[in-house]
Amino acid sequence: MTAETLDGKALAATIKAELKERVAALAERGIVPGLGTVLVGDDPGSHSYVRGKHRDCAEVGIASIQVELPASTSAAELEGRIRELNEDPACTGFIVQLPLPGALDDAWALELVDPGKDADGLHPANLGRLVLGEPGPLPCTPRGIVELLRRNGVGLSGAEVCVIGRGTTVGRPLGLLLTRKSENATVTLCHTGTVDVAEHTRRADIVVAAAGRPRIVTADMVKPGAVCVDVGITRTEAGLVGDIDPSVREVASWIAPVPGGVGPMTRAMLLTNVVERAEALAG
Ligand SMILES: Nc1nc(=O)c2c([nH]1)NC[C@@H]1CN(c3ccc(C(=O)N[C@@H](CCC(=O)O)C(=O)O)cc3)C=[N+]21
Ligand SMILES: [Mg+2]
């Protein structure tokens, strides 16, 4: 078997076309959604992601507000800039690009964001809503994964899903999302404390690799016909390397690859959150 591709790039283009119409409908009511980004430091990867987000915004008709700060920025200065975006009526949603450099604390910064403008869905109040099953912005990568599977007809209800990685932006909230009544999957969350990861992945109908460790999922770890979703991105001199080894293509039925799978979907869900926030503010 050679796995079919879960094409996140193509689906993201479809979603952007849908959002463009919703943005046009808002414009008729005099509302322009605006995405703010706060980028601290000079990590080239972070700069490249943020550039991509603003390119997406331009395509869809969302205004961009870019805040760039040096790595030497103090906590007080960063707090001030976040509070400015909280107050700025042109900014309907924003993100603080993670990880923050040096001593600046990610969780501290996330908590300063107005939960009503939280385009990442990572504010503790919004993560709490996810736990409680209340409506609110959802974390972009988990939402993108669910959307990518759903729109390709991969069933989640009753599925055994093995998630590798318990990070705050992907693994942990993905587990919460997939176990809601509306998704109804059974989730095993593996992490560095898991004794035998392969024992869990082999039972799974769907494997999501979000550890950020190159090629940790190999063909022998995957049940024939399983669906595999690659979330890890490691930059090497040879290019981007995912958490899923290429050998898995011969065993899986579907693969969401790196690049072209979950990454573009994450960006499309950020735009979706911004448009939804603007629609909510418009009433
Ligand atoms: N507050 C915050 N929110 C985030 O959503 C967030 C973040 N911080 N920090 C970093 C991670 C990572 N992330 C990606 C987004 C798009 C691609 C993406 O578009 N990837 C392309 C390849 C891009 C390339 O060539 O580098 C692809 O997979 O096809 C990847 C990774 C969002 N993150
Ligand atoms: Mg830090």
In tens, the pLDDT along 175-216 reads 999 999 999 999 999 999 999 999 999 999 999 999 999 999
**Global pTM?**
0.97
Region for residue 41 given its phi and psi (left: phi exceeds 0; alpha: psi -120 to 50; beta: otherwise): left
Q: Determine if ligand 1 sits within 6 Å of the CB of residue 266.
A: yes
Site to probe by mutation for ligand 1, drawn from 266, 269, 271, 274 as the one with most ligand atoms within 8 Å of Cβ, is 266
Other CB atoms within 10 Å distance of the CB of residue 74:
11
Integer Cα distance of 37 and 196 in angstroms: 39
Instruction: Given CATH 3.40.50.1980, say whether it is the number of domain 140-262.
Output: no
Q: Which atom of ligand 1 is nearest to the CA of 140?
A: 5
Classify domain 29-116 at the CATH topology level.
Rossmann fold (3.40.50)
205 is an active site residue: no
Share the mean pLDDT of the chain. Answer: 97
Quick check: ipTM above 0.85?
yes
In tens, the pLDDT along 223-259 reads 999 999 999 999 999 999 999 999 999 999 999 999 9
Stated as kind and residue range, the H or E segment containing 5 is: strand 4-5
Domains 29-116 and 140-262 share a fold: yes
Residue ranges per structural domain of the chain: 29-116, 140-262
Q: Is the distance from CB of 130 to CB of 121 less than 8 angstroms? A: yes
Is the pLDDT reported for residue 282 higher than 90?
no
Is the pLDDT reported for residue 77 higher than 90?
yes
